[in-house]
Amino acid sequence: MSVVVDAETDHRRAVEAVRRGLAELPPDAPVRLRKKTSNLFRFRGGEGGLRVEGLDRVLSVDPVARTADVGGMTTYEDLVAATLPHGLMPLVVPQLKTITLGGAVVGLGIESSSFRDGLPHESVLEADVLTGTGEVLSTTEHPDLLGGLPNSYGTLGYALRLRIELAPVRPFVRLRHVRFDSAAEVATALAEITESRSWAGERVDVVDGTVFSDHEHYVTVGEMVDTAPYLSDYTGQGIYYRSIQERDSDFLTIHDYLWRWDTDWFWCSRALGVQHPVVRRLWPSRYRRSDVYRRLVALDRRLGLSQAVARRGGAAGVEPIIQDVEVPVDRLPEFLAFFHDEIGISPVWLCPLRQRDRRSWPLYPLDPDTTYVNVGFWSDAELSPGQAPDHHNRRIEQVLLGMDGHKSLYSTASYPREEFDALYGGATYRELKARYDPDGRLPDLYTKTVTG
């Protein structure tokens, strides 16, 4: 087993510091983590009060047991850097470098291995959690707490340390971009790949999809391989999502594959001008990454620049639509038809998902016998006069309700309380809240994710 020097000592000190910090906060003070980065899109202001320095380390990697002990605030960028030298990776690596392991567990995460390995919380073996009472509890002794962490967004406690499973990788990934004309064909292909873990007679290790219009869809299947005849690089002038339309096959290193979306924040760097050839040459490569783009979006939200531009163009304003939703695979064509007709954002990301085991995860319940497709869309939509500021987001929620679907809560949510409780395990959540945060020291989930 390899151990990062002094990481254990720093971790113990950090745990004590965050415990003290929680105890010292005034009873009426909001409890927030003071983190360097965030991948939430609920820009509601306020500074974090709990310091988390020292909780951002990979504590150890065991290449024999294929496990890693990791501080809860460790980014996947640092986690992957520690595991790849051992020929290993987390079972699911969310697509943005600064997503933290703890954040992916309490706030969900997904990627192209999720058709086989589910969501990040399913590969957590145990965790140490700071609860609202100020106790640090092990989920080994409190398994119901582990079950309640996914989709709790820190309202039951903060994951300070996690032990996760790792999976073996090969050095390179061979990609095939398969075009389909209709959403029905895509849904059929994603369902078949999830069941057989193969396509056209060849093994599939990773799979996702990209929708450019209602008649241009791609499923990208990847197989990990030991050799590659050439390698593409999309960290410079090349743009990964454009390559999907331009070539049938491709080869990337496993490292570059895991971070293929981060350089251009999928395609959202386009709105910031970073895909313009001149701007791209002048924009330093170290700043072509998702956390930089998010800070620019946060600045735009504070200054209201996009709103002002939209109003000058005659619209009533713009509504940010930053969402990831899950729908059963057989409802995907219906959802995409609605989306093209009423929302009109493109491209759209597709990622098939199947729960890895039959365990209950009550705050984000999925049917273990159903294949879902995560549909991701991240842009603005113009508002017409008289429309509510959350008009489009609320419409998406209403359509999802009729399709046995729901969405992640990292961004705008407008669900009425009754709908929210039915979708996200309201009764179970209240039981866990009473057990692990009886004084309500941490925020309530509905308040944190919906009403603010």
> C-alpha distances in angstroms, 72 versus 1, 33, 54, 223, 348?
20, 12, 10, 30, 30
Round to whole Å and give the CA distance between 306 and 23: 41
Percent of the chain residues past pLDDT 70, beyond the cut: 97
Between 387 and 38, where is the model more confident?
A: 387
pLDDT at 250: 98
> C-alpha distances in angstroms, 244 versus 16, 96, 272?
48, 19, 21
State the pLDDT confidence band at 44, using cuts at 50, 70 and 90. Answer: low
Q: At the topology level of CATH, where does 2-169+439-451 sit?
A: 3.30.465
| Confidence check: pLDDT of 157 > 60 | yes
Find the mean pLDDT for residues 284-305. Answer: 87
Domain ranges of the chain: 2-169+439-451, 172-260
State the pLDDT confidence band at 43, using cuts at 50, 70 and 90. Answer: low
Percent of the chain residues past pLDDT 90, beyond the cut: 80
pLDDT digits (tens, 9 = 90+) for 94-109: 999 999 999 999 999 9
| Confidence check: pLDDT of 48 > 90 | no
Round to whole Å and give the CA distance between 167 and 55: 23
State the pLDDT confidence band at 450, using cuts at 50, 70 and 90. Answer: very high
pLDDT at 24: 86
pLDDT at 416: 96
pLDDT at 126: 97
| Confidence check: pLDDT of 9 > 90 | no
pLDDT at 125: 98
| Confidence check: pLDDT of 47 > 60 | no
Find the mean pLDDT for residues 111-128. Answer: 97
Q: Beta strands of 63-138 (E only): which ranges?
A: 67-71, 88-90, 124-131, 136-138
pLDDT digits (tens, 9 = 90+) for 374-426: 999 999 988 999 999 999 999 999 999 999 999 999 999 999 999 999 999 99
Between 322 and 5, where is the model more confident?
A: 322
- Helix, strand, coil % over all residues of the chain, rounded to 5: 35, 25, 40
Cis peptide before 229 (omega within 30 of 0): no
Between 66 and 13, where is the model more confident?
A: 66
Beta-carbon neighbour count of residue 339 at 10 Å?
21
Find the mean pLDDT for residues 81-88. Answer: 98
Tallying the residues shown for the chain, one arrives at 452
Find the mean pLDDT for residues 328-339. Answer: 98
| Confidence check: pLDDT of 46 > 60 | no
Find the mean pLDDT for residues 134-162. Answer: 96
pLDDT at 3: 45
pTM: 0.94
Which has the minimum average pLDDT: 44-48, 114-118, 349-353? 44-48
Residues pairing with 203 in the sheet:
198
| Confidence check: pLDDT of 2 > 50 | no
pLDDT digits (tens, 9 = 90+) for 186-224: 999 999 999 999 999 999 999 999 999 999 999 999 999
CA 392 from centre of chain = 21
Find the mean pLDDT for residues 353-370. Answer: 95
State the pLDDT confidence band at 4, using cuts at 50, 70 and 90. Answer: very low
| Confidence check: pLDDT of 34 > 80 | no
